[in-house]
Amino acid sequence: MEYESVLIVKPEVFIYKIPPRASNRGYRAADWNLKEPTWTGRMRLVAKGTACILKLEDKTSGALFANCPIDTYPGVAIEAVSDSSRYFVIRVQDDNGRSAFLGLGFGDRSDSFDLNVALQDHFKWVKNQEQIEKEKTEPKQELDLGFKEGETIKINMRITKKDGSEGTSRTGKGKGTGGVLPPPPGGLGKIAPPPAAAPAATLRQSPGASPAHRTSGGGGGEWTDYASAGGNQGQQNSANANWVQF
């Protein structure tokens, strides 16, 4: 069940009989007899659902004088005159569907401004309701942000180096480099060679040495390996032996 809501009420308005429109240039309030209105009473603008009706009623009793159904604004049902902002031409209808055009006037411009704003707000609301109902019945098209087949993107990232210069995230291959990365700062790293082994002392057996100190099978090389492995202890033992060092 829809309820009737009051959009605006003006306690005093003036109704005029108007002559037929002379041309397509619109109605002019100067052509009316503004000093002698046909009827004076109260105006109420009401809404029932999306329907909007302008009602002319008696000031005292509230008896209905005329109805003006409004289906759109601006439109044929209510139209502003061309020479004043306080007067309009309205189309009134009776219960039998017969219609007539009358002049509607306000004593103050603020009253006509209020009527304009009320009508605009109502039909703006009607338009929004129609859009909501349309979205309910029709599926909303979803935005597809996925990549199409074969579609690619290119991202160019700038990376700031330690020295303050900028470079891209890509490492380009120079001509003839074969894709080898450049050496680190400070030159090419080289592995130091191992330290040279100290030369073993050459020993010769003196003629008077005991046979126990002689090496078998001409093993001078064996003694040299023993002296080199023994370190300082081997050198001390060789000093106590009756060997001649040179």
- Which residues is 47 bridged to in the sheet? 5, 52
Q: Concatenated DSSP letters for 165-229?
A: -EEESS-PPPTTTTTPPPPPTTS---PPPPPPPPPPPPEEE-TT--GGGPPGGG-HHHHHHHHHH
Q: What is the pLDDT of residue 45?
A: 96
Kindly report the number of other CB atoms within 10 A of residue 74's CB atom: 14
Structure tokens at 68: 């003006």
- Give average pLDDT by consecutive 10-residue segment, the chain, 246 residues: 88 93 81 92 93 94 93 90 92 90 94 94 92 78 77 81 61 48 59 59 48 47 48 49 45
Fold of 4-137: PH-domain like (2.30.29)
Q: 142-173 burial, b if ≥16 CB within 10 A, otherwise e? A: eeeeeeeeeeeeeeeeeeeeeeeeeeeeeeee
Structure tokens at 185: 């700062």
Helices (H), the chain: 109-137, 220-230, 232-240
Q: What is the pLDDT of residue 194?
A: 65
> Is 0.85 topped by the overall pTM?
no
**Cα gap 40→103, rounded to integer Å:** 12
Domain boundaries, the chain: 4-137
Query: If you ran DSSP here, which 8-state letter would residue 31 be given?
Result: G
